[in-house]
């Protein structure tokens, strides 16, 4: 029986469910899933930086407003950056530090060298 508490799913909850569902059932699947350019390659989710930040915020129980305050930027500026997925590497490192996480970027060459 469906109760009202079960009807409180948000759009983000639904998107998360769909992403997990696709990850479990898709093999050798390449598709553009949504307007935010979430791409699935061979059933491995490739999330945008903005999507990863939103996931971290949810896990940490933080809001965009509180993160913006920690970063010394306006809420609207951070929302714009999240929607455009427009972050410099320096900003990504600052956001990771504010969220008590580590942002790692690396290019790995065929010979195993990492930059």
Tens-place pLDDT, residues 16-38: 666 766 665 544 433 444 444 45
Predicted TM-score (pTM) of the model is 0.59
Tens digit of each residue's pLDDT (9 = 90 or more) over 67-108: 999 999 999 999 999 999 999 999 999 999 999 999 998 899
Which among 25, 59, 21, 67 has a CA at the least distance from the CA of 42?
A: 25
pLDDT at 12: 72
Domains of the chain in sequence order: 1-46 (no CATH), 49-115 (1.10.260.40)
Q: How far is CA 27 from CA 19, 21, 32, 105, in A?
A: 14, 12, 15, 27
Q: What is the DSSP letter of 114?
A: B
Higher pLDDT, residue 47 or 12: 47
């Amino acid at each position: 029986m469906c109760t009202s508490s079960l009807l409180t799913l948000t759009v983000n909850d639904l998107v998360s469910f769909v992403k997990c569902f696709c990850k479990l059932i898709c093999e050798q699947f390449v598709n553009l899933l949504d307007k935010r350019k979430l791409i699935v390659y061979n059933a491995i989710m490739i999330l945008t930086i903005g999507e990863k930040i939103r996931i971290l915020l949810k896990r940490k129980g933080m809001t965009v407003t509180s993160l913006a305050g920690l970063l010394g930027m306006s809420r609207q500026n951070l929302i714009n950056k999240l929607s455009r997925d427009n972050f410099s590497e320096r900003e990504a490192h600052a956001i990771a530090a504010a969220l008590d996480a580590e942002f790692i970027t690396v290019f790995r060459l065929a010979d195993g060298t990492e930059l």
